[in-house]
Amino acid sequence: MGQGNANDLKISDRSLLVRSTADIADLLVGDEYVLPASALVELSGPIDLGARALRPSEGTVIVGNAHGMITSTADGVVRASGLESPVIMREFNIVATAGRCLDLSGPITQQLNLFFIGLIGAAPGTSVGTITGFDVQALKDCYINAPAGIRLDGTTNKIFFSQCPFYGITGSAITLASTLDAEVADIVTSFFKFDSPGVAIEAEAGYQVAEGILRGSLRKGTAIPLVGLSAADVNWSMHDNSGIRDSRVAAQAYLTTSATMTIAEQGVYYPVAGEFTLSEVAERFRLTENNELEYIGLRPELIEFGSSFAVDPANNNLLGFRASKNGVGLVETTTMVQQGAGPGASPRSGAVIGLIEVVTGDTIGLEVANMESTASIDWVTATYAVKD
C-alpha cells in the first residue's frame, strides 16, 4: 500500500492506486487483501494475487482501466460478506486460475454493482451461504468465460444479469441452486455461446422460482435451456432459439377418441365433450378437466385461437361452434355447420378462428350448440390450438 510512491494518494484520502501487490501489502489479513471501506481503489496493470483473494469492505469502489486485471489461484478471487453499504466494481478482469471468480458468502445487506467486468476462470460463481437482503444489481456487460458457468444460491432480494455474454461454456452457464431464494431474478438480453452442447439456464431440483426470471433472454449455439424448469415456472422470451420451443406461448389439445355429446336445450352452447389430450408442444398452458386450455404464463399475451373438427351427420341439424374465454362464448368467433341429410352421409367439418387476450389463469375452450333440435352431436375429430 503506497510503498513510498509519490504518485500514490494516501489511504487517508480514500483513494488507492494499485499497480502490483506491493501497493496493498499492508492490507493483507490471512489469505485476503482487505480493501478499506468507502475508498476508491484503482487497478492499473495486471495484479497477481498468488493464492490470495481480494475483499472489498463497506462502500469500496474498485475501478480498472485497459490494463486492469487481478489473477489468483484462490477459490473466490473477490470475496464479499458482512457488507452494509453498497460496493461497486467496474472495468477490469477477474481471472480465477483455480476455483471461482466471486465468493459472495454473506450476510450482505446492501448491493454489489458489477459493470464491464470480465469473469474468466474455472468456476466463477457464488459460494453456499446466506446472502440476506443482497441485491446483485447491474451485473451488466460482464464478459463471462468459464466452463463451469455461474451458480447462484442464498437468500437475496434481486438478481440481475444484463447484456452479459457467456463464452466457453461446456456445462451450465447459469445454475439456479435449490437453496436460492430470490424475490426477483431477471436474466435479460444475455448471450450464451457454447463450445459443446450445454445448458443456458439450469435449475436444481427443489428450486423455488422467483418473479421475472429469464425475461427477454437471448441464447445462441446449441444449448438446451430450461433444464429443471417447466413452462409454468418462467416468463420466457428467447430469440434465435432454433429447434427449441421454450420461447413460445403455444398449446394444442385434441379429442382422443370419438364421443357423443348430449344436448339438453336447443340453441344453447355447451363445452365440447369427450376425452381430450394435451399435445407435447404445449408451453405456458395446461389442460383443465373441462377440456379448456388454462394460461399459466406470467405476462399478458394476445394469442391466436384455431380449431378444426368433424361431426357425424346423425340428422339434418344446423350446429354452431365458437371459442370461449373463462366460460363465456366469444360471439365474434362463431361458425355454423350444417350436418348431413341423414345416416350414411359424409361427416361435416368446420373451423373456428379468433384473437384472444389472456392473462394468468384465463381459460380458452371450444363450445357447440344445436340450433335446430336437442339431438346429440357425435364428434368424429376435434382439435384446437393457441399460439402467440
Question: Is residue 282 in some structural domain?
Answer: yes
Distance CA 368, CA 36 (A): 74
Same domain, 300 and 221: no
Are 86 and 130 part of one and the same domain?
yes
241: confidence class by pLDDT, cuts 50, 70, 90: very low
pLDDT score at 252:
93
Highest mean pLDDT of the ranges 19-23, 217-221, 308-312: 19-23
Return the closest-CA partner of residue 3 out of 22, 28, 29, 27.
22
Which CATH number do you get for residue 355?
Answer: 2.60.120.40
The answer on 371 and 285 residing in a single domain is: yes
Q: Which residues contact 340 (CB under 8 A, 6 or more apart)?
A: 313, 316, 346, 347, 348
Model confidence at 208: pLDDT above 70: yes
Q: 180 lies in which domain range?
A: 11-233
Q: Is 220 a domain residue?
A: yes
pLDDT above 70: residue 245: no
Question: What is the tally of structural domains in the chain?
Answer: 2
Among the candidates 233, 260, 281, a domain finishes at 233
pTM of the model: 0.58
The answer to whether residue 1 is domain-embedded is no
228 & 255 share domain = no
Q: Is residue 3 part of a domain?
A: no
User: Is position 243 within any domain?
Assistant: no
Does residue 203 have a pLDDT over 90? no
Scored b (16 or more CB within 10 A) or e, 212-248 reads bbbbebbbbbebbbbebbebebbbbbbeebeebebbb
